[in-house]
Structures are given as structure tokens and as C-alpha cells.
Amino acid sequence: MKSSFFTHRDRGFIHYTREDVSDDMLRSLKYEWKAHISVAPEDYERTYDLIMPILTEYASVFKFVDYEDNTRQTVHQQRNLGILNQRHQDFRLFCAGSIGLDNLIDGLEHVYKLTPKQETLYETLKAYLSVLYGLAEKYITDGETPLEQIEQIYLKLIRRAKHLIQSHQRFYNGMQVTVYIEPEFEAHCQEMLEKIERTLLDAGITPGVIHGSDRPLGEYCSIRHPGRDTYHSGLSASSYNPDGVDDPFEHLSTYRPTGPKPK
């Protein structure tokens, strides 16, 4: 009897969870091994049809990238980054005395098209920033001034926007499928990945780009561990296994070594 799966879309992915997986198990899987399957974007739809029966037979929790939403999120973050960069540049000109506070605040009105209901809020913000600037002139201490703190906030927001863009792009040319591996089911997963590799290879699917965050097991499949106590994102992790958790996975029969062994 085949298992039933709950499905939902969130943050650029289509998530599949077997109905008997508890909430506690779902939360704990964040800190367990995960496998990725990478194919060329033009073969993505065929890949979905080919491996979905295998995934529903072997896996309990997995997700596919939602290309439409992924692209929409990327475009949104790129637009957001452009706005942040422009506002940051205006802020630096203001700090250098090249433009006045009114110019800085009025510039926001051109960035955001305000509705009539937002105009009152905008006027309140304008008055608040005027007071903030007055306080900033008075509170010059040995530590960071309010303006220096605002500078750091801008830099943090810009870094975050760039990180989100890179994260979405990471799943475009590969890593489109993520399988969350339950503890003590690693051998079961190894068997599944071997079957997926053979199925994709026999169908002539072009492999995608396996990100440096992962250890390749074959032409398409890779694995990584996000960390036992602290979660390390794929973009910032120092290796595929940053906490040095025991790695039970073996290379698949399709594996072809191409460079130095992952850390």
C-alpha cells in the first residue's frame, strides 16, 4: 500500500511530507543528513516524472524546487538589493554633507509609491527621522554613533539580500531536489540514490551543477550534513560536514572523481 503525502509550497519549493511523519521528527530532520539531486534545468520536468515514484517509495520528507516561485523570489530580491544600494548611497551622501536630511527623506517617496493611507505614516516617519538626526548630533560617544549604527544596518541588509539571491541561484542549475534522511535510514537512502542515479543515467538526463557545499556521490546525487547543534547554511558552511559527524555514505556506482576530495 502506497503512503500518502502532504504537499505545500513555501519559499521557492514544493514540499512533500509523508502523512505519518510527526512534527517533532520534521523539526529534527533539519539537523540530519540530506541528499540533493542535481540535473540540468532543461531536464527538470522529465526528472520529476522519473524519480517521483522512487522518492515516494523510499523517502518520507523531500522537496522539489519551484522554478516559477524561485525566479519570482530572485527578481524580488534583486529589486530589493537595488533599492537598498540606492538608499545606502544616499545615506552616505547625507553623512558626507552632500545632501540634506530633507533630500534624504524625500528620496524615499520616489523609491516607494505611497498610497493615500500611507501618506500619514510617511509624514510621521519624516518627523521621527528629523528628531533622530537631532539626537545623532548630540550623542557622540566613544562607541558607535547612531549614524554608524545605521551604516551597519544597511550593510547587514545588503549582505542578507545578496545571500538570498545566491541561495535562490544555487537551486537553479542543480540541487533542485532535497531528500531529508531519517536517522538509521542511511543505508535505505543509499539504495534509493543508487536507483535514482541509474534511472536518470538510463534516461539520458544531463547532470546539473553540484554546489561546493555537498560531497558528490555520483553523477547527480550528493550529500551534506548541516551541523549537529548549530545549523550551517549551504552557502556559509566550511565543508559538506562542518561538525565532523560520522559519514555513513559510500560513492555510488556512477561516481567519477573530478578533483580533490571534499573536506
Select the more confidently predicted residue: 254 or 224.
224
| Residue 14: CB atoms within 10 Å | 15
Q: Share the mean pLDDT of the chain.
A: 83
Helix (H, G, I), strand (E, B) or coil at 212: coil
Which of the given ranges, 30-39, 93-102, 238-247, has the highest pLDDT on average?
A: 30-39
**What pLDDT was estimated at residue 197?**
96
Task: Give 70-126 pLDDT, tens digit per residue.
Answer: 888 889 889 889 988 888 888 888 777 776 666 665 555 544 455 555 556 556 666
Alpha helices of the chain — where are they, by DSSP H?
23-28, 44-58, 67-95, 101-111, 116-138, 146-170, 186-202
- What are the distances in angstroms from CA 130 to CA 86, 102, 126, 138, 159? 20, 9, 6, 13, 27
| Residue 168: CB atoms within 10 Å | 22
Helix (H, G, I), strand (E, B) or coil at 222: strand
Query: Buried b / exposed e across 59-82, counting CB within 10 Å, b at 16+?
Result: bbbbbbbbeebbeebbeebeebbe
**What pLDDT was estimated at residue 138?**
55
Query: Buried b / exposed e across 129-140, counting CB within 10 Å, b at 16+?
Result: beeebeebeeee
Q: State the residue for C-alpha cell 547532470.
A: 207
Confidence of residue 160 (pLDDT cuts 50, 70, 90): confident
Q: Report d(CA 66, CA 81) in Å as an integer.
A: 22
| Residue 152: CB atoms within 10 Å | 10
Q: Report d(CA 181, CA 186) in Å as an integer.
A: 7
pTM of the model: 0.73
**What pLDDT was estimated at residue 110?**
44
Number of H helices, E strands in the chain: 7, 7
Q: Report d(CA 156, CA 162) in Å as an integer.
A: 10
Select the more confidently predicted residue: 132 or 185.
185
In 3D, which of 222, 224, 219, 180 has the Cα closest to residue 197? 219
Query: Which residue ranges form the domains of the chain, and what is each CATH number?
Result: 1-69+148-263 (3.30.2430.10), 71-147 (no CATH)
- The average pLDDT across 214-239 equals 88
